[in-house]
Copies of this chain bind each other. A is one copy, B any other.
Amino acid sequence: MPILDIGEVAQRSGVPASTLRYYEEIGLIGSLGRRGLRRQFDADVLLRLSLIGLSKAAGFSLVEIAGMFGQNGQPDLPRAQFHAKADELQRQIVDLSALRDMLRHIADCPAPTHLECPTFRGLLKSASQGTLVTHPSLGEAGRGLKPARRR
């Protein structure tokens, strides 16, 4: 079971050392202990970081992620909540697929003003399985979507 120090974890994972310290501080990852001052990480942390990256991309906050994969590796949440998160994610996947198709459409369709193109409107309407504002006077724009973040 290999032990890594922070520089190696940073290099292999692409996550900066400052971020790793921050993640440890908030309890999102754990280290085995110290050698002198230096944190020693189990190689497993790399998997955990993948999981974290994935979850961040899905729009989960660090706090939520911490809840999903408690410090020991075991989830902190009841099973039903996982199903709920998965379903939420499924909805998001549907939406992103629609957006992907819209981007492809924009790239290929010669019409300059896409909001008027029926194909485009159709794709937009299909997003969020119809909960979007396309229908007169009902629904909330982007309702059911996870606000997402990047940096």
Residues of A with Cβ closer than 8 Å to B? 12-15, 44, 46-61, 68, 73-75, 79-80, 82-83, 85-86, 89-90, 92-93, 95-104, 106-108, 112-115, 121, 124, 127-128, 132-134, 137-143, 145-151
Contacts and interface: CB of A to CB of B under 8 A. Distances in A.
- Copies per complex? 2
A114 to B, nearest CB: 7
Given A57-B148, A133-B50, A142-B52, A96 B89 contact: yes
Given A61-B150, A93-B93, A140-B14, A145 B56 contact: yes
A141 B57 contact: no
Contact of A50 (B60, B108, B138, B142): B142
A81 B136 CA distance: 33
17 contacts: A12-B137, A13-B133, A15-B141, A46-B134, A46-B141, A49-B141, A50-B133, A51-B124, A52-B141, A74-B112, A74-B113, A80-B107, A82-B106, A86-B104, A86-B107, A146-B148, A148-B148
